[in-house]
Structure 1
Amino acid sequence: MLLYSNSSLPIEISEFLLNCFTRSPTWQRWLSLPLSLLFLLAMGANATLLITIWLEAALHQPMYYLLSLLSLLDIVLCLTVIPKVLAIFWFDLRPISFSGCFLQMYIMNCFLAMESCTFVVMAYDRYIAICHPLRYPSIITDQFVVKAATFIWARNVVLTMPIPILSAQLYYCRRNVIENCICANMSVSRLSCDDVTINRLYQFAGGWTMLGFDLTLIFLSYTFILRDVLRLKVEGAVAKALSTCGSHFILILFFSTILLVFVLTHVAKEKVSPDVPVLLNVLHHVIPAALNPIVYGVRTQEIKQGIQRLLKKGWY
């Protein structure tokens, strides 16, 4: 990649510079501590959940396998983004290689899409459990989880691959300073001297097609669940049925709310500081990851009991 100097001679460069919160530098000082704590919480809580499900035979069920997949995705997303952000905050280590930048871009887009797709499968799992309980053991099997995981991996690996490829093919000739804490596609692409219309169109069409399709399926699943639950005449059946999918619904709210706020700030970017979308972009990779395992650990009795048994074994 080439960058032009003041003398108009092309200079070969091998890295980008991540410029976090240039307009609000004080944010870095007060944000580093809570971000560190959220990162440690996310890693510790997800690792505890994975270990509990792995060691507890009672949790070797499709629903908990899907939860394990969600925890793995959260761990990868946190490790891809947060350590680099903290390195910038603490040590001003802003450089990132071209290959490292495009790899981070790919992992972020791919694994966020995988997470969205996992929520769809989990919503289907709750739909079958509540609306067709007698058929649940024959439909939601270990084979179903393997097929679902394969689909989640294949769909998102293939559909998100063009995003870093299109960005990597652009000609970078002006600046190498990314006005962001992470290698977001458009933050990188706008540094190019080429036309980035294709990048924008694919990011918009691909992203909203996948996320929109996933959210539509989730909405339909919960619509059918609510319809069937309201038909139940048994006392307390409604509350019991809804409690079984409450944790999953809360996780979807964590995932979609931050994403929605992020989109709205981009739409109203003239009315908010440019650093606000950057902040939301970072938080979107750590807040859901930190809260997801806690919600399931608190609301799911089997997981709570499994963690308690593991802690007792550790003490003796």
Structure 2
Amino acid sequence: MATFNLTPSGPSTFMLMGIPGLEPVHVWVSIPFSMFYVLGLLGNFTVLFVIGKEQTLHKPMYLLLCMLALTDIGMSTSVVPKALCIFWFNLTVITVSGCFTQTFFIHAVSVMYSAILVTMAFDRYLAICNPLRYAIILTNARIAKLALIGLIRAFLIILPMTLLLTKLPFCANYIIPNTFCDHIAVAKTSCGDITVNRMYGLATAFGVIGLDLALIVLSYGLIFRAILRISSKKAYQKALNTCTAHICVMLISYSSVLFSTMAHRFGLGVAPHVHIILANCYFVIPPTLNPLIYGIKIKELREKVVKYIRRR
């Protein structure tokens, strides 16, 4: 994706304007963003380090946590460093190839992220509804295959979206009122017809999120039905606790991305700077909160982290 076939009159660079209307306070806005980014990196690298070091944690559930941590790192790193360059140094210029590459990675990682949440819901379903066959069905090798399938799905869905951008004519308006190259934000700078881009982007958003949410709802419907049949109060509480971390992560992730998608395409009366701030929050808040949520809720992981902290 290093070169793209643009029209002869097309731009060589785009301008990312950051948060329009809040330019005088960009430095202040950067403070929480940089703090969230650093905390997110620290938390996710800690999860990767601890799980990688501890042989007892080399299980499907913890491998899924590693995958989630990697996508969290990729998600925030694809957006935040460039945003901070805009906030701190006013480096608003981005090359066309860099912009399209950022578009591809942002959306591909988001699709991969959603696939991991579905796999984690399936993991919880097997652990609660079919515990005797859990170790047989969900092996480490099968987790790796599911990860590969999710990666291929993300590539096949997002690559056409990016290629559609390369076919658009860009005549004069090279300014993107955002901190990153979102697909529809880049398309809106074109002087051509972007109907196909809008339709593909919307179909992708609702197709991926809709299908994945349906699978998650189905899994949790079966999980809660099984939980309600548990007679022991202690066992009931334990089964319920195993799901709360995943539910929290899903609520944070899907609610923010759905709002951002709808607001960007249909307005919903949201001020542009509010929408841009919320869109950026999707790339920094979930990656920061996810390792905290799982670290607090999963006792075995929490104990291993505390053990390494005490050693240091």
TM tier, shorter chain?
over 0.9
Amino acid at match of 1:152: G
Establish whether residue 274 from structure 1 lines up as the match of residue 296 from structure 2.
Answer: no
TM-score, with structure 1 as normaliser: 0.93
CA distance in 1, matches of 2:20, 2:152: 38
Partner of 1:48: 46
Partner of 2:37: 39
Q: Mind listing any 5+ residue stretches in structure 2 that lack a counterpart?
A: 1-5
Q: Mind listing any 5+ residue stretches in structure 1 that lack a counterpart?
A: 4-9
Of 248, 254, 257, which aligns to 2:252?
Answer: 254
What SS does the aligned partner of 2:94 have? Answer: strand
Alpha-carbon offset, residue 268 of structure 1? 6.3
Alpha-carbon offset, residue 25 of structure 1? 2.5
Q: Equivalences for 1:93-132 in 2 at 5 Å?
A: 93-132=91-130
Alpha-carbon offset, residue 221 of structure 1? 0.6
CA distance in 1, matches of 2:232, 2:42: 41
Alpha-carbon RMSD: 1.5
Cα displacement string for residues 142-197 of structure 1 (whole angstroms, at most 9, x for unaligned residues): 12111111111111111111111100111111211111111011111111122111
Cα distance, 1:149–1:181 mapped onto 2, change above 3 Å: same
Q: Equivalences for 1:1-316 in 2 at 5 Å?
A: 1=6, 13-266=11-264, 269=267, 271-314=269-312
Cα distance, 1:242–1:27 mapped onto 2, change above 3 Å: farther
1:21/1:180 contact within 8 Å kept: yes
CA distance in 2, matches of 1:156, 1:101: 18
Amino acid at match of 1:209: G
Partner of 1:7: none
CA distance in 2, matches of 1:303, 1:25: 42
CA distance in 1, matches of 2:267, 2:11: 31
Alpha-carbon offset, residue 30 of structure 1? 2.4
2:11/2:96 contact within 8 Å kept: no
Bigger mean CA offset, 204-213 vs 33-42: 204-213
Amino acid at match of 1:233: S
Cα distance, 1:254–1:81 mapped onto 2, change above 3 Å: same
Alpha-carbon offset, residue 27 of structure 1? 4.5
Bigger mean CA offset, 202-211 vs 17-26: 17-26
1:2/1:173 contact within 8 Å kept: no
CA distance in 1, matches of 2:258, 2:268: 17
Number of matched residues?
307
Bigger mean CA offset, 14-23 vs 231-240: 231-240
1:131/1:225 contact within 8 Å kept: yes
Amino acid at match of 1:297: G
Amino acid at match of 1:122: M
Identity of aligned residues (%): 36
What SS does the aligned partner of 2:88 have? Answer: helix
CA distance in 2, matches of 1:237, 1:251: 23
